Structure 1
Amino acid sequence: MDPEVSLLLQCPPGGLPEEQVRAELSPAYDRRPLPGGDKAITAVWESRLQAQPWLFDAPKFRLHSATLVPTGSLGPQLHLCLGLTSYRDFLGTNWASSAAWLRQQGATDWGDKQAYLADPLGVGAALATADDFLVFLRRSGQVAEAPGLVDVPGGHPEPQALCPGGRPLHINLPGELVVHELFSSVLQEICDEVNLPLLTLSQPLLLGIACNETSAGRASAEFYVQCSLTSEQVRKHYTSGGPEAHESTGIIFVESQV
């Protein structure tokens, strides 16, 4: 396994469908205010905007913890404890030069090395084509995270999608709708980044949760999604451009080892 990636949780073989995942939203699962205040976050954000003026802030879900709970005949269920955070706080904590110190301080102050970090929950897709290839994208130089590197299609579930026109609050985010946004967001990211029609994609199966140590342990829910198109058909859709075509510069197909 990549030393920069650790496995937080592995779902049972075959993955978990949406119906077997539960979410609980609470302010208790938000990050702790930084020692000395959050002015450092503002400074990082302003510096980032000067270098990359196209960046914009948005609310995100924060993963506090995840637990597999056996539920008898229904099979295992995953219980997610989620708070709220933002993209601005993500860049100002997980991607700050002080991230290692913040983790050390969190362990000292709270017994939790992630306590001071934004830790927005991401999503990623192991996207398989009809002719058994997995789809990867080379990220563009315009993205704030991992520019120029190869990654799977993915992004973030969006609290704002559940509160159009308003500010997302924990009390206004029912767990079942949050789980639906988690699963639907990975499909939306595939549609936007790879430019595939939604009807060509299967319902996602959650494989597990991985942590990226490059971004100080930020977690991402990893899904399996089957596409009914061949790799060549997927390539044609991708090259014709999509809503988020600017986020990648190329598509790569790797034959699945089954």
Structure 2
Amino acid sequence: MDPEVSVLLHCGTWRGLREDQVQVELSSRFNRHSVPEAETHIQSLWEERIAREPWLFNGAKFRFHSAKWTNPQHPTPPATTTTPTARPCDDTKSVQDHVDKATPDTFTHTPHSCCCPRDTGHNKTAAHSQHDAQPSIVAPTSHSGDRINPVVTSTGTGVNGDRENGSSPVSVKSAPVEDESGDAGRKRKRRETALLSLQLGLTCYKDYLGTNWSESVPELQEKGRAQLGDEQALLAQPLGVGAVMATADGQVVLLRRSLKVAEAAGQLDIPGGHPEPKAVCKGISEDQITMETMQGQEEAVLTEIFSSVLAEIRDEVNIPLSCLSEPILLGIALNHTSAGRPSAEFYVRCSLTAEQVKATYTLGGPEANESTDIVFLKETELLSLNNSSPLWLELCPSAKGAIILHQLVMSTKTSAPPR
């Protein structure tokens, strides 16, 4: 459909997945492979870049390595699901107060600089908050667990605290009881219910600029393919997030990117950014975050991925988190203008109308400098948008990938229509 983007995987079988239907695997095995000549090249490019833009910093990012379907023993998932429902804001007055008072199997793809639509160099100024809205969606059961070969060019299709044991006077210890409300219980429950597993390592902004954005990408991909059987093995591949956000009156939000950004200037994008390892490793400086410091943090990483997309909407569009539904994962798209960089795309409902959203956006949020205008498109029109539409030429790659995923997932004929 468009050479700039492709779909690695989509969740159309279930019409999207909730957070409790996804799990994360963390391992240094999922980090970028390094070779001496590549490291020298990366360092050289970084020194040149910060000489021109000294405000840049090298932040840690999650590296997407691969994804796989889980629970192959379960039967075919149900054919009918429903879309998430946005939780209404506390009351009409609270929304108006905000307006009045606001201040400015395995799938592998083998500071305010705003270098790309999923700006990996941007340091979030507002802490990510966990939402409390719950969608109305039927829990799926399963998908085939077969491993899937890489999908690189197809855009029209895809695939679907320690417990202290007391002792008696005769030193007979009681048997440990797992706390089902604790981390161990949550991890066990997720292993039983998760349908998709994301395999993540760590990378950084410097490596992203020196690999995915390097002129040496073809050589790096060829070396990765020849030596490691994975053309993306030597690339940073930081994971981005984006949101197709629908208002209460059926409009989808698009943002006109500022002319001051380095990539896709002036083009239309969806709200988006990236999850932050530093949000998980609190109290640890960016350059000290390693896979060792993240061990046992799978639940926190997953929560950060899902909550970060809501934080991006809040900061870019100036919408209160209380007006947003739980994000539903549509799938993962690849941006080929940055060597196939992956982005997890979500669907989010907002309880505000387009008019109310425009009012809050106009007041400005923490990241108001990243865009110059807000544009609304009917969700029904979004479902039929393609590369023959004039609007398509105005979209940046990340928005195109999200829209294609939205069409694949929300147009599922066996599912109920969006509402």
Instruction: Bin the TM-score by the shorter chain.
Output: over 0.9
CA contact (8 A) 1:205 1:223 kept: yes
Equivalent position of 1:49 in the other structure: 50
Q: Which amino acid aligns with 2:3?
A: P
1:176 is displaced (CA, Å) by 1.2
Give the superposition deviation at 1:246: 1.2
Deviates more, 1:8-17 or 1:49-58: 49-58
Contact 1:52 1:142 in 2 (8 A): no
The 3 A distance-change label for structure 1 pair 148 and 100 is farther
Tell me, in whole angstroms, the C-alpha distance in 2 between the residues paired with 1:142 and 1:41.
Answer: 25
Q: Which residue of 2 aligns with 1:63?
A: 64
Tell me the residue number matched to 1:232.
355
Matched, 1:150 2:273: no
2:141 to 75, 84, 87: 75
> Is the aligned partner of 1:250 residue 2:338?
no
Which letter maps to 1:79? S
Change (3 A) 1:222 1:39: same
Alpha-carbon distance, 1:19 to partner = 0.3
Please tell me the root mean square deviation across aligned C-alpha atoms, in Å.
1.7
Q: Does 1:91 align with 2:214?
A: no
Structure 1 contact 21–78 (Cα < 8 Å) conserved: yes
How far off its partner does 1:144 sit? 4.1
**Percent identity over paired residues:** 55
Which has the larger share of strand? 1
State the partner residue of 1:10. Answer: 10
Matched AA of 1:244: E
Q: How does 1:101-250 map to 2 (within 5 A)?
A: 101-166=219-284, 167-173=288-294, 174-250=297-373
Change (3 A) 1:249 1:80: same
Say whether the 8 Å CA contact 1:25–1:171 is kept in structure 2. Answer: no
2:191 corresponding residue in structure 1:
none
Which amino acid in the other structure matches residue 2 of structure 1? D
Q: Which has the larger radius of gyration?
A: 2
SS in 1 for 2:220: helix
Unaligned runs of 5+ in 2: 76-139, 143-194, 384-419
Supply the distance in 1 between the matched residues of 2:319 and 2:202 (Cα, whole angstroms): 30
Question: For the residues of structure 1 that align with 2:309 and 2:65, how far apart are their CA atoms?
Answer: 20
Under a length normalisation based on structure 1, what TM-score does the superposition of the two structures give?
A: 0.94
1:145: how far off?
A: 4.0
**Matched residues in 2 for 1:47 and 1:195: separation?**
35
Name the stretch that deviates more: 204-213 or 102-111.
102-111
Q: Which runs of 5+ in 1 are unaligned?
A: none
Which residue number corresponds to residue 38 of structure 1? Answer: 39
* Larger RCO (CA within 8 A; separation ≥ 6): 2
Change (3 A) 1:54 1:238: farther
AA aligned opposite 1:182: I
Q: What displacement does 1:40 show?
A: 1.2
Number of aligned residue pairs? 258
Residues 1:238 and 1:50: Cα distance change in structure 2 (over 3 Å): farther
TM-score, normalization by structure 2: 0.59
